[in-house]
Amino acid sequence: MHSATAMLRAIVFPKAPRDLYMISLFTWFGGSALLLLSVPNRHGEAEWVRPVRTAAFLAMALMSCQNLFAYSTYNEAANCYPYAGLCLGLLGGAAARACARLRFTVDFGEGEIWPVRLPSLPLVAITLLLTAWTSADRLADDWWRTVQQFDRHTKFDRKLQVANASIYWGDPTDSSSHTVLRKEDLESTFNYLKACDKPFFVFKDATIFYGLTGRPSPQPLLYFQENHSFRDSDVPWLDARIVDSLERNHIQVLVIERSSWLRDTALYEKFPRLEKWMKSGFQKQATFGIYEVWKRNEDFTENPRDPKMHDQEIQLIKPD
């Protein structure tokens, strides 16, 4: 019941930037009013009623879809509200048309009846005001926005010097606050892994090394991100799966990043067994910018593997 209430609240009153929140309210209240005004009756309906009803329904449906998407993905507003302008246009146009065609009469008694028409100018003005406000806010957001590591100053005019890949490098590439990831550092790390030619484990962001070297991820999670690739409730069983998989695949090299985009380089501390495994049996061999390369000691003995665990059991489905 709680989750259903939270979902309904998110659909109708989303946690969105102020301009998008106002559009959501305008769509829901305005759409509901137009649907009530355009309800079919036994006397038939005027030719303007069906288009108004359709536009109101579409605006509310599209708003529901994008609000539900924002609620379920926890993504940035720029990615979650593609229909905001369309909803505003549909509802504003439908409201203006309805006001221009609706006619009411007021009976003042003694046979004096005056026709009354709703003014459409205020609704048009509100629609234009919301459109201008949203457009200005979204344009400013796009101008200053940083998508992943890249802002509007980033240029893609150099290729990575790695085998069997055609990848353009973004200059500059920000790893996190005040940290710039250099193209040469990634190339040097790749060359080390390629020359070493041993199974390795990457923590945390640069999982591209698996693809560049032609090796699959040696553990169930390709990428570690809380509430995306795992939940807190998954940690007890997932921690064991990860370490068992790493030992089963005889990992000899660790690539640990000293800086990450989400500033969560210590996220492995949520996994006690993984933390203990990473901090024992390895020695630092090289550093390339933010990348530290650690190699397993030759005299280190792996923990015996659990015979109940098999390769085909390595998956992200929680066991019963």
Residue 313 CB partners (closer than 8 Å, separation 6+) = none
Q: pLDDT category, 113, cuts 50, 70, 90? A: low
User: Same domain for 116 and 206?
Assistant: no
- Please answer whether residues 245 and 314 qualify as being in contact, where contact means their C-beta atoms are separated by less than 8 angstroms: yes
Helix then strand count (H, E) for the chain reads 10, 10
Q: Is 223 found in the same domain as 110? A: no
Q: Is the peptide bond before 115 cis (omega within 30 degrees of 0)?
A: no
Q: What is the mean pLDDT of the chain?
A: 83
Is 166 within the bounds of a domain?
no
What confidence score (pLDDT) does residue 306 get?
41
The one-character DSSP state at 153 is T
pLDDT tens figures, 134-159: 888 888 888 888 777 788 888 999 99
Q: Which residue has the higher pLDDT, 28 or 39?
A: 28
Alpha-carbon gap, residue 306 to 172, rounded angstroms: 45
Q: Is residue 181 part of a domain?
A: no
38-68 tens-digit pLDDT? 887 666 677 888 899 999 999 999 998 988 8
Q: pLDDT band for 309, please (50, 70, 90 cuts).
A: very low
Domain assignment of residue 86, given as a range? 2-144
Does residue 57 sit in helix, strand or coil? helix
Q: Of 144, 173, 196, at which residue does a domain stop?
A: 144
Same domain for 200 and 135? no
pLDDT at 130 over 80: yes
Tell me the range of 37-41, 227-231, 295-299 where mean pLDDT is highest. 227-231
Residue 310: pLDDT band by 50, 70, 90 thresholds? very low
Q: Do 113 and 241 fall within a single domain?
A: no
pLDDT of residue 74: 74
159 lies in some domain: no
Q: Do 6 and 108 sit in the same domain of this protein?
A: yes
- 226 within a domain of the structure (yes/no): yes
Residue 124 and residue 233 in one domain: no
Residues 135 and 190 in one domain: no
| Residue 314: predicted pLDDT | 30
By mean pLDDT, which of 12-16, 32-36, 137-141, 234-238 is the weakest?
A: 12-16
Q: Is residue 163 part of a domain?
A: no
Look at residue 228 in the predicted model and tell me its pLDDT: 85
Q: Are residues 136 and 28 in the same domain?
A: yes
Average pLDDT over residues 110-116: 64
> Contact 155/170 with Cβ under 8 angstroms?
yes
- If one compares 311 and 105, the residue with the highest pLDDT of the two is 105
pLDDT at 285: 94
The verdict on pTM exceeding 0.85 is: no
Cα–Cα distances (Å) from 166 to 161, 170, 174, 185, 217, in that order, read 8, 13, 21, 17, 21
The domain boundary, picked from 90, 125, 144, lies at: 144
The number of angstroms, rounded, from the C-alpha of 252 to the middle of its chain's C-alpha atoms is 34
Asked whether residue 52 is assigned to any structural domain, the reply reads: yes
104 and 200 inside one domain = no
- Are residue 107 and residue 228 in the same domain, yes or no? no
pLDDT bracket for residue 2 (50, 70, 90): low
**Claim to verify: residue 11 and residue 140 sit in the same structural domain:** yes
Residue 190, token pair as written in the block: 């790749």
CATH number of the structural domain spanning residue 257: 3.40.50
Residues 107 and 201 grouped into a single domain: no
Residue that is last in its domain, among 144, 172, 204: 144
59 inside domain: yes
How many whole angstroms separate alpha carbon 92 and alpha carbon 87? 8
Q: How far apart are CA 216 and CA 210, in angstroms?
A: 6
How does residue 281 score in pLDDT terms, banded at 50, 70 and 90?
confident
Mean pLDDT of 243-263: 93
The pLDDT value recorded for residue 115 is 67
Overall number of domains in the chain = 2
The rounded distance, in Å, linking the Cα atoms of 39 and 37 is 6
Residue 180 lies in a domain: no
Can you give the pLDDT at residue 151? 82
